[in-house]
Structure 1
Amino acid sequence: MAKKKSKQAAAPAGGEGQNATLDEASQTQTQTQSSTTATTNSSTNGGQKKKPKASKELPSTASSQTLNICRNKHWRYISSYHGPWLQMPIEILETIASINYNTPRPRPIDPAVLFDLLKIRRLVDEATNLAVRAASDIASPVLTNLHGGLPGSSPMSMMGMTGPGHGMKLSHKRKSQMREQASQKLSRAYHLDEIACSVATMQGASTIEEIGAVVLQRNPQDLDARYVHFFHEKIPSRQMAESTSLESLTEIIAERPNESEALRTRAIVRTFKEDYEGAAHDLTTALAVCRIHQQPHRPNDEANSKLSHTGKRWRQEVVPAEKDQPTSLEIQLSFLRATTYLSLACQHIEDGLSSAQEKNGHADTDKPNGKPSAETNGQDSQEQDENSLRKQTEARKLVKKYAKWALRDLLAFLSHFEYAPNLPNLIVKDFNDRVNLSAQGSRNPRPSEATYLLEPHTTYTLAELFAAVPPSDLPPYPNEDVTNPEKQTYSSDSPKVCEGSTYHPLMTDALHSLLLCHCLIQTSAKELQRHTYMAARLIRLADGYPIFQACRSPARSDWLEVLRRADDSWLQLSASWDTLCTPAPLPFHYDPLQHGATSANTGASRKEAAAAAASLINGTPNTAKSVPSPEDQRRQRMRERDQRVRVALSDQRVCDEDTFRAAIEAQEKRAELEDRAAAAAATPPDGTSNADGRPRRWVVDDSEFYPVCTARATMIAQWVCEAPVVTSTTRRKKKTKRPEGKTDTLADSAKKMNLKDTAATVS
């Protein structure tokens, strides 16, 4: 009996020990099957007295490598949507969205994405509330809050005027209705932005992960539940392509042909399966459906277009109704199709470059000793070389064609955002001050009267900055302050204007992807240098305060790898890429109306604003620096660890256990360095400033700790170094002088019409 008990106790322990590979890094967000398998093995071994030892260890060994997580945790660009918007009270988020919308252009944050985040937060919170109440048998959260979850403690319960409280079971029908409502709200949130919604659901209760599956058990034809369950279904980690079927999404698309969100989701899944042509087709169809059937109704377009040129502030604050709020669906589709076309272009690079065998004249293809045979110099070898050259030429043309299409979509994406070369500093100060007031509890902070007296300023779309002829009134860049920060001097006269641009969580990746497209298009070095400086100008202005935090950009890592491998004489940049993208210093806020004299006023700093917001979120006054309890410190460590796991899972460089651990270690080392730098500068490690006192608006690349480059970076760098110049596929023909009196025949006219139709189809 003692031996049998020892065997039963050893089985679960062995299962847990063998499964401690990835589960230690993500205890709160991942679930494994090893514990269940180990428990089953223990009960089986307990019933059988004689069992070979090898057969007992086999199931636990096989299950130790299984790590099941929700499908939406594999989505790319998840780290781009992390930020304070996930934890701050919904009232503060709503106030900031209103402040941002009423700020003169260029607005600090894209209003479309900010309104979508507000809706997603509200929908996810309501869905979580319904799911938790259905699981806990709570009829109304109001009644629960009144008597603290204790039935009979309210005076109204003595008269029988209360609903079911805690411990009183709800009917199955009521529970089903609550879960259906929760799945509908989650479906609406995923329709708005599936990346942002995935991040929001990761921060919520684990109960909502099972909502879709529970509703489908009662009604398998519920489309909202099927869409939600697609994101929450548990699949093996890093096996997105192998464990995902397109059948459910295809059925949803067939049932709802006038909605483009399911097409967007299916296109993302196709990219995981490396079916880029199918993904591009789905995104093209989704864009057409969005523009025809889902174009939002905006009655104030005319007024907004006028304000975009004048840069004046509205005299009356405007809060648009939900149906009139801008949406970011078309922006998402443009970005996703651009990245898909860029991946398609990279897919043909290998076929477009000559291999080592072809460079050596096929010397090692016919004989093992490397000597060419008699047939090598014959007709077969010549035809083979011609076919190979023809295929290479076609592949090179495809690389250039898809890169041009990707560039077109990236410019369409950037056309939704704006840039101002002469933005008044008072507007920046007013936005920061109003955000600080909202963090301190003000629901409707009024703008400063001084902003109404400002002169109009010029705004451009970001796409206009990358035109063949850029605007002429841009400040010089890079200037001496960027290339030589040690020699930076400050004049006695404070500047009244600064540069400003609209922020989007995917903008940094889009700007780096634009540079990669120009590399594949083989843009001249001089023009590419101009685009590179323009991208660096905008990247250093990118600031997601107070909604988003800094994130790692996959395209930025690829661009750095291309710069590292390319020749030094290629672009001849005046400084390193890190130096060019150094965040711009916060502008001096010049306020001539204060005390009747001219003075430079820096206003509230970003660190103070972040502290104010954090104090309201945590429920403590910002003046008193409370020491966190050990439990709070443990929760903070858990949140940081979970976030590192999510970032590593969404990293394209992570492909196995070793790269996963390397990505986690790189983030830990980088966080340790940031903490040391913050401690040396006597500032809290909140990511708002570094050791030299300058604000941080993007994450320093982790290539120093994680020297693993993607296949895309390798292929693009090889293309830049080895690819010959690809001539354009379309050439303009000289117009020949037509003889007088000669008219086109019917066959010629039909031929021309056919060519036009073909060209329209291709374009």
Structure 2
Amino acid sequence: MPYEILEMLANINYNTPLPRPLDAASFFDLVKVRRLVDEATNLAVRAASDIASPTLTNVNGGFPSISSAMGPHGMGAPGHGGRLSRERKFRMREQASQKLGRAYRLDEIACSVATMQGASPLEDVGSLVLQRSPKDPDAKYVHFFHEKIPSRKMAECTSLQPLTDIIEDRPAEPEVLRTRATVKIFKEDYDGAIFDLTHALSISQFLRRSHGSGQEDAQVGDAQRTTRRRAHDIILAEKDQPSSLEAQLYFQRASVYLTMASERILDSIPTPSFNQSNGQPAANEADDGDAAAEANGKSSPDPDKESARDQAEARKLVKTYAKRAIKDYLSFLANYHYSPNLPLKVAKEFNDRVNMVAHGIRSSRAIDSSSWTNSHTVYPLSDLFRSVPPTDLPPYPSQDVLIKLEPEPDETTCEWVTYHPLLTDALHSLLLSHCLAQTSTKEIQRHAYMVARVVRLSDGYPIFQVNKSPARADWAEVIHRTDNWLGLSSSWDTLCTPAPLPLYDDESCSHHPCVHAHNYHVEKPAVSASVAASAAAALLAGTSSDAAAEEERRRKELIREQAILDALDDERVTDEASFRAAIKAHEKRAQRDDAMYSDKPSNGASATPKPGPGTSTSTTGPDTLDGTLNNSNNKKAKHPRPPTEDAEAEPLSRRWSAEDGKDYPLMTERANAIARWVQEAPVVTGMVKRKKRTKKPVGDANGVPAKVDAAGEALEQLEI
């Protein structure tokens, strides 16, 4: 896509009322990365090819340029075929490294992708500058990304010293701290990564407050909530454009906390020891009270009690890190917005302006908000996951929502959410963190439905394509291995099926060839309602069931095609044997899911989650399934019934059978650990801090006891 069109789309997106279709900060960063990489490529290619002017008209036999014509007279730069001086080449490469350094500071992943798609002279621009200027910080930073190391030994062969030197030279740049934290994550130095990310966050927040960028968001928000019409779009200067750095840091730190919690799960789950006489598991763990007593100094030579104490401490760490991850994920989600009742005219005008740009039609007219009949409501995404969610959300999931594949022609509003490339992974990681924090099963179920609501609305048009989400795959595995302990009304892929696109004036939207068919890992419906009804009628009438047999054959073909696609996406598939095993395992998984969810009656019964051993059964918060409070004005939505929970038909909390173990290992180590935590971990207690009683100090107010009490109260209030 040309840079000019990309820049115009970024401005259109920024001037769209909240919630914007795409995250404005990420979009602006992408535009700047594209421009900087293009300019750096131009400089690097010219330096490697001895081309002085960026635009030459005589390369392919055209008229000679003015610069080349005046070159023999000593005026102007040398033309094509002339030799540039070493100093000129060095300055051009130095300037290219500076531009690449800025691009990497904006977004490491986007810049890496753009650089790989660029010209080959970019690969050596950093090393060539370092040959003459070994202490150049920009060249060091660029060379750090371009240095060739073995792909499977990145942690061992990557040194932190270049990044440390840059940080010492430029201590006010949080982006290099982010890069060093990423390397520490690969080296499994999670504590060091948390330190760097926290330091980078403090620097970023200080710079944001000092530059007063918070005024811009407030002014834009106020302008979008008024009914006055702007004559033209707001074109922000580059220094005034929002930055995505702070959101990146929150997401990365939350991911580290979740990793630290997952790493300690196996050390926190008690291993049952079986009595040889009766085959019953022996009690080999002490409760949290005994562990606390031993922690206070009463050591015991019994190895079982010592192991139980260590497991209790590990469980507390798991829950602590999970709560910190939840806090950071909510801070990340607070940067993006959701609306339950966005007018369709807003979405239509955005798509119309995008189509105009795609066809080369320029329009500086801003989106008209004067024709809106009702103002729409905008919530930060983090508000959807509070203890009390907003009360005006449409019901989800409901029977009509799940089976509806086409929008209603008489709708005037629609749900809308701001898209971010990391949004899907952050939402599913939030669910995994709630599992480790042992949030009540009812609340996790409500959060799961809310995540499905947002994921089905997430759409990166017209810039971003769907990306793989490891957290979504792990969450689906946890649901599968725990036998849907939440009691979800449908399979996870069904709940996250993309919502139908709205109709604009009885005309379908033309910006997609199909209805959101680019969703990640979407299962196609097994049997359509019409075909199933005709097959059932044929069976009841005693006639031929060729239609049902043909549909069953097509269903198996679709399952196999999806299994092949999933196996191709699996990074653990390395040879033909593992590829065949992966296909077979995915086929079995799809067949089991079809058998589990195909025979559910839709009689309006609500889903009741099954509490696991490691989850609390408290029902704090709203007792709803669709993410909304019970309101007399809200219509009761029909919920499909989950799989039967009768003890005689299906055992609660079934363990992994030997047959499951024969399958190809679909789940990762993290999914395996979290599933075991949900099923086996005891409830962690003693995490609530008790308020210390204030006693009157002995002696004067400035004495030692008063200082000790003040220090203790300060430590209790300090958030670590």
Match of 1:148 in 2: 59
Q: For 2:261, which of 327, 336, 345 is the aligned residue?
A: 345
**Residues 1:402 and 2:321 aligned together:** yes
What does 1:538-687 align with in structure 2 at a 5 Å threshold? 538-568=454-484, 570-590=485-505, 600-607=506-513, 654=571
Q: TM-score of the superposition, structure 1-length normalised?
A: 0.69
CA 1:221 to 1:734, structure 2 compared with 1: closer, same or farther past 3 Å?
closer
Q: Alignment partner of 2:149: what SS?
A: strand
> 1:114 corresponds to which residue?
27
SS of residue paired to 1:545: coil
Number of the residue aligned with 1:197? 111
Alignment check: 8 A CA contact 1:95 1:444 kept: no
Question: Which residue does the alignment assign to 1:689?
Answer: none
Shift of 1:104: 0.7
Alignment of 1:319-718 (within 5 A): 319-357=235-273, 383-444=302-363, 446-447=365-366, 449=368, 452-485=371-404, 494-568=410-484, 570-590=485-505, 600-607=506-513, 654=571, 708-718=666-676
Match for 2:716: what amino acid?
Answer: A
Q: Secondary structure at the match of 1:419?
A: strand
Q: Is the CA contact 1:424–1:496 (under 8 Å) kept in the aligned structure 2?
A: yes
Alpha-carbon shift at residue 155 of structure 1 (Å) = 7.5
Q: Please tell me the residue identity of whatever aligns with 1:409.
A: D
RMSD: 3.5
CA distance in 2, matches of 1:312, 1:276: 50
1:753/1:178 CA distance change after superposition, 3 Å: same
| Structure 1 CA distance for aligned equivalents of residues 457 and 368 of structure 2 | 26
Q: 5+ unaligned residues in a row in structure 1: which ranges?
A: 1-87, 366-378, 591-599, 611-646, 671-704
Which residue is 1:6 aligned to?
A: none
Distance between the aligned counterparts of 1:387 and 1:270, measured in 2?
Answer: 32
Amino acid at match of 2:420: H
Match of 2:128 in 1: 214
Output the amino acid matched with 1:348: R
User: What is the distance in 2 between the residues matched to 1:756 and 1:381?
Assistant: 32
Amino acid at match of 1:147: N
Q: Secondary structure at the match of 2:302?
A: helix
* Aligned residue identity for 2:80: H
Q: Which runs of 5+ in 2 are unaligned?
A: 285-297, 517-565, 588-662
CA distance in 2: counterparts of 1:661 and 1:185, whole angstroms: 44
**TM-score, normalised with respect to structure 2:** 0.73
Q: Give, in whole Å, the separation in 1 of the partners of 2:70 and 2:182.
A: 56
1:680 corresponds in structure 2 to: none
Give the CA deviation at 1:609.
13
Give, in angstroms, the shift of residue 655 of structure 1. Answer: 6.8
Query: Larger relative contact order (C-alpha < 8 A, sep ≥ 6)?
Result: 1
SS of 2:319's equivalent in the other structure is helix
CA distance in 1, matches of 2:38, 2:406: 50
Whether the 8 Å CA contact 1:102–1:314 is kept in 2: the answer is: no
Quickly say closer, same or farther: Cα 1:294–1:258, change in 2 above 3 A. Answer: farther
- Of 674, 683, 690, which residue of structure 2 is paired with 1:725? 683
Q: Give the distance between the partners of 2:181 and 2:102, measured in 1 at CA.
A: 19
Render the CA deviation track for 1:678-737: whole Å, top value 9, x for unaligned: xxxxxxxxxxxxxxxxxxxxxxxxxxx98542211111111111101111422445979x
1:166 matched to 2:166? The reply is no
More helix by share: 1
Deviation of residue 292 (structure 1)? 1.4
**Residues 727, 93 of structure 1: alpha-carbon distance in 2 compared, 3 angstrom cutoff:** same
Q: 1:490 to 1:500 in 2, by over 3 A?
A: closer
Matched, 1:249 2:249: no
Q: How far apart are the structure 2 equivalents of 1:233 and 1:559? A: 35
- 8 Å CA contact 2:23, 2:420 repeated in 1: yes
**Is residue 2:714 matched to residue 1:757?**
yes
From the superposition, tell whether residues 317 and 203 of structure 1 become closer, same or farther in structure 2 (CA, over 3 Å): same
Tell me the CA shift for residue 238 of structure 1.
2.4
Counterpart CA distance in 1 for 2:216 and 2:131 is 45
* Greater mean alpha carbon deviation, residues 329-338 or residues 447-456: 447-456
Question: Which letter does structure 2 place at the counterpart of 1:528?
Answer: I
Contact 2:68 2:78 in 1 (8 A): no
| Structure 1 residue 355: Cα displacement | 2.5
SS of 1:585's equivalent in the other structure is coil
Query: For structure 1, which segment, 352-361 or 572-581, has the greater mean C-alpha deviation from structure 2 after superposition?
Result: 352-361
Check the 8 A contact 2:232/2:365 in 1, yes or no: no
Q: Is 2:60 aligned against 1:102?
A: no
CA distance in structure 1 between the aligned counterparts of 2:433 and 2:224, rounded to whole angstroms = 29
- 1:607 to partner: Cα distance: 3.5
Which has the higher mean CA deviation after the structures are superposed, 350-359 or 395-404?
350-359
Matched, 1:137 2:137: no
Partner SS for 1:421? strand
- Alpha carbons of structure 1 residues 580 and 752: separation in structure 2 relative to 1, 3 Å: same
C-alpha distance 516-297 of structure 1, shift in aligned 2 (>3 A): same
Structure 1 CA distance for aligned equivalents of residues 664 and 82 of structure 2: 54
Residues 183 and 224 in structure 1, CA contact (< 8 A), matched pair in contact too: yes
Corresponding residue pairs, total: 572
- The 3 A distance-change label for structure 1 pair 313 and 407 is farther
Q: Distance in 1 between matches of 2:46 and 2:377?
A: 52
